[in-house]
């Protein structure tokens, strides 16, 4: 199965879902999964940055092995329009493939 995870803010995820659900190369899309870490409450420490909260990911399954490229290009256009970036990971291993923004090259998209 050719699948990727897209990790983004809730607001970005809604835009990606709208894009993915109407894209012809997308076979299936999972519901958003919240990635928030521990709910323990810590004391404030100077210069200490906790893990970013509010991130969500969705899993996108493509119809064929090569189908992802057109979707990546559509997503790149959306990220360019918003001037934002999202993380792309391998669904099977969770390994980060890279960041997708309006500036991501075709070569990088082809490698994913």
The interface region with another protein, picked from 5-13, 16-24, 73-81, 102-110 by CB under 8 A, is 5-13
31 binds another protein (CB under 8 A): yes
The interface region with another protein, picked from 17-25, 69-77, 92-100, 103-111 by CB under 8 A, is 92-100
The interface region with another protein, picked from 16-24, 34-42, 73-81, 103-111 by CB under 8 A, is 34-42
- DSSP H or E run through 21: helix 10-21
Please state the closest distance from residue 107 (CB atom) to another protein, in A: 23
Strand-pair category, 96-101 with 85-90? antiparallel
Q: Which two tokens stand for residue 96?
A: 């980060």
Distance CA 56, CA 88 (A): 12
Question: Which residues, in sequence order, are CB contacts of 66 under 8 Å at separation 6+?
Answer: none
Residues numbered 45 to 74 that lie near another protein (CB under 8 A) are 45-51, 53-54, 56-57, 59, 61
């Amino acid at each position: 199965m050719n699948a990727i995870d897209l990790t983004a803010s809730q607001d970005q995820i809604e835009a990606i879902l709208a894009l993915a659900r109407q894209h012809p190369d997308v076979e299936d899309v999972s519901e958003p999964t919240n990635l928030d870490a521990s709910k323990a409450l810590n004391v404030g420490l100077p210069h200490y940055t906790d893990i970013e909260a509010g991130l969500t990911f969705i899993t996108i399954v493509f119809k064929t092995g090569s189908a992802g490229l057109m979707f990546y290009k559509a997503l790149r256009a959306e990220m360019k329009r918003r001037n934002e970036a999202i993380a792309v990971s391998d669904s099977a291993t969770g390994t980060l493939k890279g960041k997708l923004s309006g500036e991501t090259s075709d070569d990088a998209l082809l490698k994913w």
